[in-house]
């Protein structure tokens, strides 16, 4: 289980769910109370490891469960 692969997979799935929900990166960041859409971009590119509180906020705002963001069986 490679950390970079995990972060990239999570980010790819986050981008898909964000787009499905119609949010821009800035819009989603505003909705969950983080500083800027730039942070959403770094998560989506797999460049940063989001905190658990950020992941929970994303799941609540996008109305999805964790398995939509990450499939543990792939790793």
Output the pLDDT for position 13.
Answer: 97
* CA gap 21, 61 in Å, rounded: 9
pTM recorded for the entire structure: 0.91
Q: In a structure prediction context, what are the per-residue pLDDT tens digits for the chain, which is 75 residues long?
A: 799 999 999 999 999 999 999 999 999 999 999 876 689 999 999 999 999 999 999 999 999 999 999 988 877
Output the pLDDT for position 37.
Answer: 62
Name the 3-class secondary structure at 47: coil
- 5, 75 in Cβ contact below 8 A? yes
Output the pLDDT for position 71.
Answer: 86
Q: What domains can you pick out in the chain, each with its CATH number?
A: 3-63 (1.10.260.40)
Name the 3-class secondary structure at 7: helix
């Amino acid at each position: 289980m490679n950390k970079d692969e995990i972060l990239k997979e999570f980010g790819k799935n986050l981008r898909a769910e964000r787009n499905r929900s119609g949010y821009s990166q800035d819009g989603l960041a505003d909705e969950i109370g983080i500083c800027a859409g730039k942070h959403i971009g770094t998560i989506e590119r797999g460049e940063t490891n989001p905190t658990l509180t950020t992941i929970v906020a994303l799941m609540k705002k996008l109305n999805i469960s964790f398995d939509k963001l990450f499939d543990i069986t792939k790793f």
